[in-house]
């Protein structure tokens, strides 16, 4: 019995999400249908805004180039981000020094660390610094420099030079998008470069991202996915993505509704 369009549609979108591109002939073979059927499917999906047709197949639609404001982003998937932040903070051991990049998920980690007097936090994020100044019991170091008003973070050569002075236990990195083809990406080049620098100055790089970031490519690459050791995400992350990440030897931690975790084993 042949699959319906709706069933083929879900598989095509899943393939796009993990691989970034699909080929007409490969899909025709997968579904045992004609190439004309697949082309009609891709036409419909393009009209729905789910992909963009190219010669021989289709690619995922690129994300908007303009990042929403910090305030707007903080209101998107807020419950998932809080659960991710709680789980990520639980990974920080006594006496460790951690880097937090500028993100609405990493700020949730800062909120969870407030009572940890044994922890040192280094950040270039103005909102995370403000959060730390509101009662954080540990030590906070601001990797300062020129403050980019649009993204509310220090950027540029001075911030990079300051980060070169440190070697930390863990760096928690946020992202605008995660793609197998394009890696971990961010909307802003300066933010991407600073997050990349943080990954270079840590023993362990951990990506914190809600499920909406998977299968998305934004403007500037932070790093290939293989350069991180772990991803902390929410239950909305698909099994296809978990399997793909495990093949890259990236550990996946899934936050629970009450902040508990589910560890996905390779």
Residue 146 backbone zone (phi > 0: left; psi -120 to 50: alpha; other: beta):
beta
Q: Is 224 helix (H, G, I), strand (E, B) or coil?
A: coil
Residue with tokens 């990440």: 245
| Domain 70-264 coded CATH 1.10.10.10 | no
The topology under which CATH files domain 5-60 is Arc Repressor Mutant, subunit A (1.10.10)
Strand blocks (E) in 149-250:
153-155, 168-173, 177-179, 183-186, 202-208, 220-223, 230-233
- pLDDT tens, 6-47? 889 888 988 887 777 889 999 999 999 999 999 999 999 888
Query: What is the percent of the chain with per-residue pLDDT over 70, rounded to a whole number?
Result: 89
Closest CA relative to residue 9, chosen from 17, 194, 1 = 17
**So what's the pLDDT on residue 260?**
43
**Taking a C-beta distance cutoff of 8 angstroms, is the pair 54, 42 a contact?**
no
What's the average model confidence in pLDDT over 165-174? Answer: 97
Same fold, 5-60 and 70-264: no
Domain ranges of the chain: 5-60, 70-264
198 vs 219 pLDDT, higher one: 198
Closest CA relative to residue 156, chosen from 166, 165, 144, 174 = 144
Rounded Cα–Cα distance for residues 195 and 185 (Å):
10
Residue 258 has pLDDT above 50, yes or no: no
What's the average model confidence in pLDDT over 198-214? Answer: 95
What's the average model confidence in pLDDT over 94-119? Answer: 96
**Taking a C-beta distance cutoff of 8 angstroms, is the pair 85, 111 a contact?**
yes
- pLDDT tens, 40-69? 999 998 888 778 888 999 987 765 455 555
Residue 165 token pair: 């002075």
Rounded Cα–Cα distance for residues 87 and 207 (Å):
12
What's the average model confidence in pLDDT over 92-100? Answer: 98
**So what's the pLDDT on residue 148?**
84
């Amino acid at each position: 019995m042949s699959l319906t369009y709706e069933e083929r549609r879900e598989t095509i979108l899943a393939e796009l999400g993990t691989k970034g591109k699909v080929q007409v002939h490969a899909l025709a073979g997968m579904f045992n249908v004609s190439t004309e059927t697949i082309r009609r499917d891709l036409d419909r999906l393009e009209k729905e805004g789910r992909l963009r047709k190219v010669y021989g197949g289709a690619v995922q639609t690129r994300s908007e180039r303009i990042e929403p404001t910090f305030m707007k982003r903080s209101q998107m998937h807020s419950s998932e981000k809080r659960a991710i932040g709680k789980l990520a903070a639980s990974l920080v051991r006594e006496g460790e020094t951690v880097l937090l990049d500028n993100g609405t998920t990493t700020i949730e980690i800062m909120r969870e660390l407030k009572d940890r007097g044994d922890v040192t936090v280094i950040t270039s994020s103005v909102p995370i610094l403000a959060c730390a100044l509101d009662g954080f019991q540990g030590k906070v170091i601001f990797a300062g420099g020129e403050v980019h008003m649009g993204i509310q973070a220090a950027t540029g050569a001075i911030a990079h030079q300051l980060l070169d002075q440190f070697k930390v236990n863990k760096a928690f990195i946020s992202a605008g998008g995660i793609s197998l083809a394009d890696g971990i990406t961010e909307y802003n080049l300066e933010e991407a470069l600073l997050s990349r620098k943080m990954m270079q100055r840590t023993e362990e790089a951990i990506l914190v991202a809600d499920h909406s970031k998977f299968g998305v490519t934004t403007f500037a690459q932070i790093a290939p996915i293989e350069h991180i050791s772990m991803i902390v995400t929410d239950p909305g992350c698909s099994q296809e993505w978990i399997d793909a990440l495990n093949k890259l030897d990236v550990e996946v931690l899934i936050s629970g509704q009450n902040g508990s975790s589910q560890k996905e084993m390779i």
